[in-house]
Structure 1
């Protein structure tokens, strides 16, 4: 297969570029904007720990569920319509949870929001594949970088905005980006019929309605029998679980054990989110150029366990360092994105491996924010929940062993079953 010829990023696809950028920013900004202002919210109504646990679990649960549901919706409505619909629902849910009058409505708004973002999370990679086949690497790097930026900007500004204009405005202002993301995709859907009427043979950029290949259902089923697929899913779960636990609970933990105020806790959560930015560049290089996959796993393990140990044993001694170390395992996320391509030989295998890894990984990750809440409620402290997080990082050892010693999922399937992929 020959690579698609490279052309200017704006040529015939300006709307697609803008839509992808705005959707990518919206995917993470809503996750990180709530926990820094919980104190302001609880001044209006009580938010029990179990509700906080469910709110923290909402993103990975929705991402796991809609990782399975979205392909069927995509085949029925198309990528562009689905992206526009997801952002419409996300914007409405952001405004809705900002107007919540009690904890249950806050939870409901959050669940609807992340259902919509779960759809956006799934459609974005095929949108990149469809409109930027010649720049898939750079667009994926941009996508990862935008997720990191959207993770550290909201916590940085959430508390100051809440102090100045109230927590409802602080929570709802991120709907602006989702509303902006609607415009390019609606414009592309509207103009698609006109593009379809172009004379036959006239060259054009990809448009709404063009198909993107989906893996056959039986291919997804095969991966459950391949240890490599489970190793990548566990790796994805470790990264996702640590991120969503920290987005949900880190500011509360820091206020309780590190003697920092709400504004400082929000700034530290922003620092945690910012740690994803350098790793989105360094980890793909470590994997693709230097083949240092084991090093990536080892660094994530040592840093993650050290950060947890610091918060348990000496939380006030070097709080900034502990938060930085906790942010290092985020590097597993871009690592998995790259490894999905390097541990598959066929396009069908890559798409199936991506779907399996994300669905299973998010399903596992969803357990941890809620388990964090249960352990805190039952013990009255943070040592047991933080120890659980530290134990999670230990699973990088078996996962890293399998990933570094295995070829592709197709080869592994053939070796185990004696049948071709």
Structure 2
């Protein structure tokens, strides 16, 4: 239920952005700000999340995150101005971003012996929270108005808070750590930014996110520029999002069974490269194939989320690695769609923007080389 809230505020808004702008009075320039807001707030959550975990514990932090997601999503539908809409959307997105950070260590705490299956479950829920609001936003708005269309997703945040209230009541607020299974020499705290594991994870996660968000933002324009109709371009974006369910289901299990899953990352980069070349050279020929390959390439996203738990010994280590990975990763991803657009505007073509993406997958490979090595964060921080 928590994972099902983690993208709703993003994809419930995007299809309605122009309609909302016409109603409350913002232009196309402001759309770029709204486009960067999710990754900016997710990056901020990577800094804030670990601090809240140390202060309040995992369970209280995720409860606050779900309540913030619900409250922000509900309050923003009453906005009458652009600043108000931005601020309240920021509250909802910060709550969801903190949820991004704390769910991996919660999986480690409660399901340490079922990491692959539970990771698959929550990552699939994240994918569904991306796909479903995008598909139903416009029909709901046409039937009931944009405020109802966006507001219904607040219910998911409030509903996800209820089980955590039950958990906290059962634990009476305790936030204990089992350290009996740790080697005596294992440090309980450390400086995560000193670890090559952490930087590798951040590179892997950040470059996957940069590439994915750039494609979400620009794939319709790439196809429209090649002569596709708006309906076809929109369908291809939906397919790109939907195909992400396949690696979400399978990648955590594959990663958990491999001592070093780096060869899988190499395979993903090959899929990315073929898709990039296809969209650059022949965007209107075999388009579905290019988009399918493009949707399978980000299997490195569920891989990274699973590795957060596989490369740590404790929920505290998992929380630290999760916060660092997602904080740095989303901060980098924030500039992806912007740089892609700037390069397109500067050159008038798509070669330079796709050159940026090829550079990104090169950095991704370098990061994954470090992240996939069979070693623990606590031994390197």
Structure 1: which 5+ residue stretches go unaligned?
A: 1-21, 196-205, 414-420
Counterpart in the other structure of 1:126: 105
Q: 1:154 to 1:390 in 2, by over 3 A?
A: farther
The CA distance in 1 between the partners of 2:148 and 2:21, in whole Å, is: 15
CA-to-aligned-CA distance 1:164-195 (integer Å, 9 cap, x gap): 33333333322221122233334444xx2xx5
Counterpart in the other structure of 2:265: 297
Q: 1:323 to 1:343 in 2, by over 3 A?
A: same
Report matched runs for 1:37-56 at 5 Å: 37-44=16-23, 45-49=25-29, 51-56=30-35
Q: Secondary structure at the match of 1:296?
A: helix
Counterpart in the other structure of 1:218: 190
Counterpart in the other structure of 2:70: 91
Q: Secondary structure at the match of 2:96?
A: helix
Counterpart in the other structure of 2:296: 328
Q: Secondary structure at the match of 1:395?
A: helix
Q: Secondary structure at the match of 2:124?
A: helix
| Aligned residues between the structures | 373
The CA distance in 1 between the partners of 2:147 and 2:289, in whole Å, is: 32
The CA distance in 2 between the partners of 1:188 and 1:340, in whole Å, is: 23
Q: 1:410 to 1:30 in 2, by over 3 A?
A: closer
The CA distance in 2 between the partners of 1:221 and 1:327, in whole Å, is: 31
Question: Do the aligned partners of 2:240 and 2:291 also contact (CA within 8 Å) in 1?
Answer: yes
The CA distance in 1 between the partners of 2:321 and 2:26, in whole Å, is: 42
* Displacement after TM superposition at 1:280 (Å): 2.0
* Displacement after TM superposition at 1:252 (Å): 5.0
The CA distance in 2 between the partners of 1:332 and 1:120, in whole Å, is: 20
Q: 1:278 aligns with which of 246, 269, 277?
A: 246
The CA distance in 1 between the partners of 2:89 and 2:344, in whole Å, is: 22
TM-score, normalised by the number of residues in structure 1 = 0.75
CA-to-aligned-CA distance 1:374-401 (integer Å, 9 cap, x gap): 4455556665444423432232333344
Question: Do the aligned partners of 1:349 and 1:410 also contact (CA within 8 Å) in 2?
Answer: yes
The CA distance in 1 between the partners of 2:143 and 2:51, in whole Å, is: 44
Question: Do the aligned partners of 1:25 and 1:150 also contact (CA within 8 Å) in 2?
Answer: yes
Question: Do the aligned partners of 1:152 and 1:269 also contact (CA within 8 Å) in 2?
Answer: no
* Displacement after TM superposition at 1:293 (Å): 2.4
* Displacement after TM superposition at 1:115 (Å): 1.0
Between structure 1 and structure 2, the one with the greater Rg is: 1
Counterpart in the other structure of 2:149: 170
Question: Do the aligned partners of 1:53 and 1:373 also contact (CA within 8 Å) in 2?
Answer: no
Question: Do the aligned partners of 1:300 and 1:331 also contact (CA within 8 Å) in 2?
Answer: yes
Q: Secondary structure at the match of 1:68?
A: helix
Question: Do the aligned partners of 1:375 and 1:385 also contact (CA within 8 Å) in 2?
Answer: yes
Q: Secondary structure at the match of 2:228?
A: coil
The CA distance in 2 between the partners of 1:132 and 1:336, in whole Å, is: 18
The CA distance in 1 between the partners of 2:287 and 2:18, in whole Å, is: 21
Q: 1:259 aligns with which of 228, 244, 262?
A: 228
Q: 1:316 to 1:179 in 2, by over 3 A?
A: same
Counterpart in the other structure of 2:333: 365
CA-to-aligned-CA distance 1:249-297 (integer Å, 9 cap, x gap): 44455455452325x5444333222222211232233333355723322
Q: 1:346 to 1:23 in 2, by over 3 A?
A: closer
* Displacement after TM superposition at 1:151 (Å): 1.8
The CA distance in 2 between the partners of 1:229 and 1:172, in whole Å, is: 37
> What's the RMSD between the two structures over aligned residues?
3.3
* Displacement after TM superposition at 1:142 (Å): 0.9
Kindly indicate whether residue 208 of structure 2 is the aligned counterpart of residue 239 of structure 1. Answer: yes
TM-score, normalised by the number of residues in structure 2 = 0.82
Q: 2:162 aligns with which of 152, 175, 183?
A: 183
Structure 2: which 5+ residue stretches go unaligned?
A: 180-186
Q: 1:87 to 1:186 in 2, by over 3 A?
A: same
Question: Do the aligned partners of 1:31 and 1:247 also contact (CA within 8 Å) in 2?
Answer: no
Q: Secondary structure at the match of 1:218?
A: coil
The CA distance in 1 between the partners of 2:328 and 2:114, in whole Å, is: 28
* Displacement after TM superposition at 1:141 (Å): 1.9
